[in-house]
Structure formats: structure tokens, C-alpha cells
Amino acid sequence: MTVSFDLPRLVTALGYPESAAVNQRIPKKMLVETGVAAAADKRAITDGIDEIHWLAALKPVTVGIPAYQDEARDYLEIAILSIKLRPEAKASRIAELVHRAIPYPTFLMAHSQGGISISLVHKRWAQNEAGKTVLDGDVLEANLRFSDRPGLVQSFFDALSLEKQPRLSLHALYQGWIDALIAWQASALTGCFELSTSAAHAAMRRAALHQFRELDAKIASLRLSASKEKQTARQVAANLEIKALLAERQRVADNIKG
């Protein structure tokens, strides 16, 4: 059985109350005019996005979860957005630009004919510009296309429910979603969906997943180089390096599973 991801199902899985719903279309020009300086990025938004919808605003008054404030950030609300992408869209770059443009931490769902992706990233105050927010780290993104493991899909969707997230603050809520997304990425390697047991475990998992992807890319590059190499000695050296990287990748995968 193959399970497909669709936007209405994902929105329903989030389970936010009607009081938080906004359901408002956002003009693309708003994103273009909000801190997008490079001409290539403006074209990416104009040519790649079909529609943008602001689905919900999670605030203390709408979801009963306190705001969060410290020296680095002030989480007064969380925005839930969906964007419909055109086939030629630069999806990952557009996701980053949207997160940069929206001043609040955002649960972003980008959908197209190829499926759906979810992206999240914490935000903090800019150090040199008062009142401006910037991304706090790399954008965390997961592509949800199709899965032949319906139980795994259901576990992930259940974990996204607002009722399952920490309610200490909006920052804790957003981190709960980040942890769920990391668990989903890990499930591609482990075959089972398991939430992290602690903040330290989640951070370790995320670092290991990043390292795994870097090793994958390096192995693929070396294999391509080795296939084109004419000298036997260099082929042997490349293959030995590939073997060592495969062993390292397996060690990282075991850490993810643990």
C-alpha cells in the first residue's frame, strides 16, 4: 500500500483550533519587497510561486500557549503558511526566502505536483539592526512525497498534532515540531518513527543526519571520479577511500538508530 501526502490531510494533522485560523492569501510582491535584495531571488519567488496562503497564527490568545522572550528572541506568535509551487520552482531556496521574509517562526508547507515539503527554522533578533529578525541556523526541510509504510506516515502525522507538542511556551512548541521533523528524517534510515528522548538526543540526531548526507555526497563524488580514472593506482586509492567512507557512514547511521 502506498500512502500519498496531501495538504488538507497535513493541515488537519496539525490540529490547531479554529480561533487560530487566518486563511488569507498573501501577495507575492510582499515577499519580494521584504528583504529580498538579489535579482535572482526575486525571480525565484515571482517565477516559482503560484500562491501563498497564511493559514493560521498561533498566539497565546488563540492557542493558550505563553509567548517566549529572552535576549536572543521574542516569540509572540507562530505563523503557519502554505505555498503552491510551479514545476520549475527552486523549492529549497524559496523556502529559505520565505522564512527570511516572515518575521515570526514559521511552519511552512510547500506543495507541488511532486509532493509536499515541510520546513522550519528558529529566528532570532539581528545583532546589527534593531527590530529585524534573522534565521537562527540552517532551514530544516523534509520532503514528503510518497511512502509505502502507512504506519510510519501515521506516526509522523500524529506527532505533529498541536496537542502532542510542549505547551511551556511558543518556543517549546516550535522546537517540538522541529524534533518531530528530525525524527521523520531519521526514520528513512531506521525504518521506524521515534521521537527524540531529550533535547541533547535531538541535537545529536540532527548533527548525525547532516554528517550522513555529507558522507553520501562525498562517496558519490569519489565513485564518479573513480569511474573516470585511467590509472590503476589512483583507482585503488579512490576505492580504499570510498571503503573507509562507507564504514564511517555506517557508524553515523548506527548513531542515528541509537
Q: Where are the domains of the chain?
A: 3-195, 205-257
Q: How far is CA 40 from the centre of its chain?
A: 22
CB 124 within 8 A of CB 153: no
Are the CB atoms for 115 and 143 separated by under 8 Å? yes
Within its chain, how far is the Cα of 201 from the centroid?
18
Residue 3 has pLDDT above 60, yes or no: no
Q: Cα–Cα distance between 201 and 162 in angstroms, integer? A: 22
Mean pLDDT of 120-147: 87
Q: Which positions ≥6 away from 162 have C-beta within 8 Å?
A: 14, 15, 16, 17, 58, 63, 173
Higher pLDDT, 134 or 250: 134
Top pLDDT among 202 and 104 is at 104
Tens digits of residue pLDDT in 10-57: 999 999 999 999 999 999 888 888 767 788 898 999 999 999 999 999
Lowest-confidence region among 15-29, 109-123, 243-257: 243-257
Least confident of 68-72, 103-107, 231-235, 254-258: 254-258
C-alpha distance across the termini of the chain, in Å: 28
Who has greater pLDDT, 3 or 257?
Answer: 257
| Residue 28 DSSP SS3 | helix
- Model confidence at 79: pLDDT above 70: yes
- pLDDT tens for 181-213 read 999 988 888 888 888 888 888 888 888 888 888
Query: C-alpha cell of 85?
Result: 509551487
Residue with cell 505533529: 160
User: Which residues have a Cβ under 8 Å from the Cβ of 147 and sit 6 or more positions away?
Assistant: 2, 3, 5, 153
* pTM, full prediction: 0.86
